[in-house]
A = this chain, B = another copy of it.
Amino acid sequence: MDNKKISGGGAPSAPERPTLKTIAFMTGLGITTVSRALKDAPDIGAETKERVRMVARQLGYQPNRAGVRLRTGKTNVIALVLSIDEEIMGFTSHMVFGISEVLAGTQYHLVITPHSHSKDPLVPVRYILDTGSADGVIISRTEPDDPRVELMHDRGMPFSTHGRTDMGIVHPFHDFDNEAFAHEAVRALVARGRRRLALLQPSSKLTYYSHTRIGFQTGLHEYGAEEVPLRITTDNPLADIKDTVEALMRSPHAPDGIVCSSSGGAIAVNAGIEAAGFRLGRDIDMVAKQSTDVLSWIRPEIITVSEDFRHAGRELAKAVIARIDGVEPELLQSISPPVWPKT
């Protein structure tokens, strides 16, 4: 070990961290008084409070988290439950950054609780509930009938979800308006004269699968286009997406427009289109959702819509904290509209 003593004399190198005791000693007050003064309790004199706060600031006092947690049960932790399975374009980090940004202004720490989403997704949630290791939880990849939501609701654990559920439980969430996205995507394609449209949709397990579908279908109906079925999702490997699209393009039912729910998928779709000898902008148009402005660098012909994951992270963090503070869940639900590029 390389614990370096600065002075050789026997004095410990690190200055002891101040505690309530330290402040009590310095002010000549009792520990309880100091504790209550720092909490702005009503039965402490104004002058005393001021004095205590001064000394605390001077010493750089920060309450010991273990002490608070042991006594009160409050962990001051927000857990983010993440699937560590493959994710091509890394939107997760943007969400983490958004959450961090909000938590940085609070007493909360962010703890990452991972799980492999091939395994039981309840495991990490159950762990958090059983060990009481967080005051609030954020989950993503929300499903319409999500058992994690039910479990946390039943146990009274504050949480917010990235994506909605459809199970009659009112809870905080943030969602991207995938319905509007798909609907407007159809409009944009029809405006370019496209009529035979395909949809690369998300996994049917996730809630936004149905939102995307509904938006797409009402769009087809409203703007007078027809669907070319595409039997593959953004959860499939890129190589499979490419092969499927290539085969579809070579078939007599080739679409002339396509809507993609992810940027990774869009890249693979484009590869399939080009492998079949077609070109974006000329033979077919594509609208794709992206979390970072990368698609237009790849093929400027792709019509891009941005989903801001950092913003989502901020909203999710704010929501779960408000829920911890007792705000009603109805007031903690938000939906972001799709952002189209300025023209």
Of A39-47, A151-159, A178-186, A335-343, the one with at least 4 CB within 8 A of chain B: A151-159
Contact A14 B90 (CB under 8 A): no
Shortest distance in angstroms between A300's beta carbon and chain B's nearest beta carbon?
9
A70 to B89, CA, bound (A): 41
Contact of A66 among B69, B82, B264, B298 (CB under 8 A): B69
Residues of B within 8 A of A64 (CB): 70
Contact of A91 among B90, B292, B326 (CB under 8 A): B90
Residue A120 at the chain B interface, CB threshold 8 Å: no
Shortest distance in angstroms between A2's beta carbon and chain B's nearest beta carbon?
6
Contact of A110 among B94, B112, B132, B264 (CB under 8 A): B112
Contact A267 B238 (CB under 8 A): no
A93 to B94, CA, bound (A): 9
List 7 tightest A-B contacts by C-beta distance, closest first: A90-B90, A100-B114, A66-B69, A3-B156, A66-B70, A92-B93, A84-B97
Residue A131 at the chain B interface, CB threshold 8 Å: yes
Q: Looking across the interface, which residue of chain B has its beta carbon closest to that of A309?
A: B90
- Of A69, A294, A329, the most chain B CB neighbours within 10 A belong to A294
Q: A17-B130, A90-B91, A114-B101 are in contact. Are A297 and B267 (CB under 8 A)?
A: yes
Contact A155 B14 (CB under 8 A): yes
Contact B88 A100 (CB under 8 A): no
Residues of B within 8 A of A292 (CB): 88-90
Residue A57 at the chain B interface, CB threshold 8 Å: no
Contact B97 A114 (CB under 8 A): yes
